[in-house]
Amino acid sequence: MFERTPCVYILANRYHGALYVGVTSDLFARIIQHREGVFEGHTKKYGIIRLVYFEAGGTMETAIAREKQLKKYRRDWKCNLIERQNPMWNDLAVAMFGLEPLPA
C-alpha cells in the first residue's frame, strides 16, 4: 500500500520521548532500516525507532517541503500533531506492516 509513496514521518523512542522527523519514498523499507540501526546518529544513539506519525501521498518534493516545515516546529506542536492521530503513541508499523512489537 505504501510502497514507493512519498511520506513524511515522525519516530519516537517512547511515549513523549525523543523525536525524529524524516522523509522517504518507501516507508516500510525506511522503518526496517531504522529498526536495524543502519543509520548512525540521533536515531541510533537514542533508539528512536517507533513510527508514531506519518503523512503519505503527493510528490517527493511536497514531502520534503513538509519535512522541513515539521522540523521547524516546536516540540509541543509536534507532540500535539502526533496525539491527534495516535494519542497513545503506538508503534504504527506494527499494524501497518505486521512488524513485531518492540519491547516497552
Whether the model pTM is above 0.75:
yes
Going along the chain from its start, the domains and CATH numbers come out as: 7-97 (3.40.1440)
Residue with cell 516500510: 28
Question: Is pLDDT at 64 greater than 60 in this prediction?
Answer: yes
Q: How far apart are CA 4 and CA 88, in angstroms?
A: 28
The answer, yes or no, to whether residue 57 has pLDDT greater than 90, is: no
42, 23 Cβ separation under 8 angstroms: no
pLDDT over 90 (residue 97)? yes
